[in-house]
Amino acid sequence: MRGRMPPLPRSIATVLAVGLLWWAAGLSTPEPAIAGMADVVDVRANRQSDGTYSFSVTVRHDDEGWDHYADAWEVVGPDGTVLGKRVQLHPHVTEQPFTRSLDGVAIPDGVRAVTLRAHDKVHGHGGITVEIELPGR
């Protein structure tokens, strides 16, 4: 008697689907990871009265605990210079996505846009980034 295969667990199905999409796009297949990379999913930037900027950044990562969690996000200039860094001191296993702020970020004259990227303890950088135009520039 022929039967259907049981459905794949959701996480395996997701990894296979992403791998297939990468393959179809002609890209190399990413290595599957349990928690994956940290992604920036939302950014708000405000110019302060002293000319510096404050950033409110939302990060999504399947934190697993102290050994694998999103431990920072950065404000990066067009030339790759890190202009600001917000360090996360603990995992956010039950708070996903999470939003944290950083004030007092000095942006050099002439820079009109920055990129926000997240970092995790296992994979480093490599997740989804967000580039934003700076208000008041």
What is the distance, to the nearest Å, from the Cα of residue 74 to the centroid of all Cα atoms in its chain?
9
Residue 16 shares a structural domain with residue 54? no
Residue 2 shares a structural domain with residue 59? no
Q: List the domain range (segments joined by +) for residue 48.
A: 35-133
CATH label of the domain that carries residue 99: 2.60.40.730
Residue 119 shares a structural domain with residue 57? yes
**Does the pLDDT value for residue 70 go beyond 80?**
yes
Number of separate domains in the chain: 2
pLDDT digits (tens, 9 = 90+) for 18-61: 554 444 444 433 343 346 889 999 999 999 999 999 999 999 99
Residue 26 shares a structural domain with residue 65? no
pLDDT-derived band of residue 128, with 50, 70 and 90 as boundaries? very high
Residue 12 shares a structural domain with residue 41? no
Verdict on whether the full-model pTM lies above 0.95: no
Residue 102 shares a structural domain with residue 116? yes
Residue 12 shares a structural domain with residue 67? no
